[in-house]
A and B are shown apart, each in its own frame.
Chain A
Amino acid sequence: MVENRPWLTVLSHAVLILGVIAVAFPLYITFIASTLTLEQVMQVPMQLTPGDQLVQNYSQVLGGGTNTGSKAAVSNMLVNSLVMALAIPLGKIAISVISAFAIVYFRFPLRMFFFWMIFVTLMLPVEVRIIPTFKVIADLGMLNTYAGLTVPLIASATATFLFRQFFMTVPDELAEAARVDGASPMRFFWDVLLPLSKTTMAALFVIQFIYGWNQYLWPLLVTTDESMYTTVIGIKRMIVGGDAANEWNLIMATAILAMLPPALVVMLMQKWFVKGLVETEK
């Protein structure tokens, strides 16, 4: 848009700046709190300049959690979160790319029925089916295991649907050319379809990594053992009742640690992420 209305520019900047403050200020507070001693955090109002406890606080939570709340080491939780946040997107992508391939490129009996069955599960997120899912996982002895943390979250219609939509935009002639070239269906899948889906996979990976990392309810149910806590659960376990009893400086340090990996993934994969959502390479 080419417009020259100064007051409009001022107004739009004002709105944007307010928005940035609304989002960034809490993050700033979190960071500041994580660099202070417990006494400094408890002062009202809290100081808004960084303190000198940065290394001290972070090394304490990484090594041994809080003093009053959970004593599980955050470094271990970060590993658990990472395993979960990697296993979910990788598992989802692997399963859904194959099922989308079957649904788009093969004619088999009840093909549309199966597609709709997968599609219908969109209506059943983890929270809705949580009790039966918990029962199944518990009966299978998968509580407090990585499998129990990830498998129920891997089954997903969203990714299947996304890949199906992408495959349908790939020209039929490409599959036909591969057939004439003598490529078997799996070879076509591996040599042509997968390389073309790279950007879609990258976008899905980013979304699902964050989804996996931020899981709260499900890990809360299936992990009872400290060594299996994920970071998000770890934060919850550090909060033990009354306001005064909590070591907010350490909790805030954990929160910052919990925020960093998703932010890093988004920043590093931003180019691919946007590409996967808007651009198709055909």
Chain B
Amino acid sequence: MAAVSFRDVRKSYTPELQVIHGVSMDIADGEFVVILGPSGCGKSTLLRMVAGLETITAGEISIGDRVVNQLEPKDRDIAMVFQNYALYPHMSVYDNMAYGLRIRGLSKAEIDARVQKAASILELGKFLERKPRALSGGQRQRVAMGRAIVREPQVFLFDEPLSNLDAKLRVQMRGELQSLHRRLGTTSLFVTHDQVEAMTLAQRMIVMNAGRAEQIGAPLEVYAKPATTFVASFIGSPPMNLIPREGKLLGVRPEHFEPCAPAEAQLTLDVDLVEPLGSDTLVYGHLGGDRDTRVAARLHSSVDARTGKLPLRYDRANVHWFDPQSGKRIET
């Protein structure tokens, strides 16, 4: 296992088209780090640069104490799990896992031991002789992980591995990934656009936007103190409300609103949409007189929410301020 570090890593395809604008970060040995961002933000590119599938235009990536910029993927001691699994369709599950080991020239006994071990961890024992097309999506996903595990690499790289699974399976695999990481303790980099995956899996996360790392931190820290309006509006569902106030942007999470008497109201919502979720109720609407600012509030399900005027208040301790020009957080 090894630490990974990025030193002002940049990527451009042409001088004009730069897709990664200098990312710096240190990932500790054994840490699980999630790279989160919308599609096209460069998160996969960053991961592929660690894997050695994309060249590094400027900066340095090191794994352990080696700078890997010029190394072939196979020499970087990494294993990658692809979004579409990329299993070899003509090989059995066993051969899929053993292929990389055979190329490295491991002995038959050693290969067998490693594959059997990975298969038992992932409960693939019954499927070893099957071809990938005879497996379900979740099983294929496990084979892809098994292929990574048998390599016993320094770093695991996951490129949106759960996005092809249905919602239920995704939750299950998320749990399995977590326990796998606890068990193996291998440094892991995980790319996703799904904030729930990021929040639940990450020890730390990088929120990326348009090739820049907007914020790096533990999930709850990022949630509690978003560094920019982008992070504030990307994380949380519904996202943080950003309300123009006194030349700044006031950020309030939907769950920090509570209904109150009209006299105590800090703002009044003109509710036009109510979404009862059972556990709680989401209400959406405009602020009185301000048609452009949409606000969402998460209310307890006991509140009788309906369209029309809704007076709301919030706790001053739970609000955030942002600079409307730079989008940066203003510490109070």
Contacts and interface: CB of A to CB of B under 8 A. Distances in A.
A181 B100 contact: yes
A177 B104 contact: no
A183 B103 contact: yes
B80 A177 contact: yes
Contacts of A176: 51, 53, 73, 80, 82, 86
Contacts of B100: 180-183
Given A176-B53, A180-B73, A195 B99 contact: no
Contact size range, A? 10 to 19
Given A180-B78, A180-B80, A196 B89 contact: yes
A176 B79 CA distance: 11
B90 A195 contact: yes
Contacts of B80: 176-177, 180
B84 interface: yes
B84 A191 contact: no
A130 to B, nearest CB: 41
A180 B90 contact: no
Interface string B159-188: 000000000000000000000000000000
A173 B51 CA distance: 12
Given A171-B84, A196-B89, A282-B89, A187 B74 contact: no
A150 to B, nearest CB: 31
A281 B78 CA distance: 28
A13 interface: no
B127 interface: no
B245 to A, nearest CB: 48
Interface in B84-113: 84, 86-90, 99-100, 103-104
B90 A174 contact: no
Interface in B137-164: 147
A179 B84 contact: no
A181 B103 CA distance: 8
Contacts of A178: 88
Contact of B103 (A173, A187, A281, A282): A187
Interface residues of B, number: 23
A81 to B, nearest CB: 34
Interface in A172-227: 173-174, 176-183, 187, 191-192, 195-196
SS of A interface (majority): helix
B74 A180 contact: yes
Contacts of B73: 176, 179-180, 182
B57 to A, nearest CB: 17
Contact of B53 (A179, A187, A196): A179
Given A176-B53, A180-B79, A182-B104, A191 B86 contact: no
Contact of B74 (A171, A174, A179, A281): A179
A281 B90 contact: yes
A177 B90 contact: no
B90 A196 contact: yes
Nearest to A280: B89
A252 B79 CA distance: 65
A192 B100 CA distance: 12
B87 to A, nearest CB: 8
A196 B74 CA distance: 23
B46 to A, nearest CB: 15
B82 A181 contact: no
Interface in B56-81: 72-74, 78-80
A196 B88 CA distance: 9
Nearest to A184: B103
B129 to A, nearest CB: 17
Contacts of B86: 171, 173-174, 176-177
B104 to A, nearest CB: 6
Nearest to B75: A182
Nearest to B78: A180
A202 to B, nearest CB: 14
A174 B90 CA distance: 12
A180 B51 contact: yes
Contacts of A181: 74, 99-100, 103, 147
A282 to B, nearest CB: 5
Nearest to B101: A181
A23 B318 CA distance: 85
A18 B144 CA distance: 55
B4 to A, nearest CB: 16
Given A171-B84, A173-B83, A187-B103, 14 more contacts: A173-B84, A174-B88, A177-B80, A177-B82, A177-B87, A179-B72, A180-B51, A181-B100, A182-B74, A182-B103, A182-B104, A183-B103, A192-B90, A281-B90
Interface of A: 171, 173-174, 176-183, 187, 191-192, 195-196, 281-282
17 contacts: A171-B86, A174-B86, A176-B53, A176-B73, A176-B82, A176-B86, A177-B88, A177-B147, A179-B72, A180-B51, A180-B73, A181-B74, A181-B147, A183-B99, A191-B88, A192-B90, A195-B90
Closest A-B pairs by Cβ, 4 of them: A182-B74, A181-B100, A173-B86, A177-B86
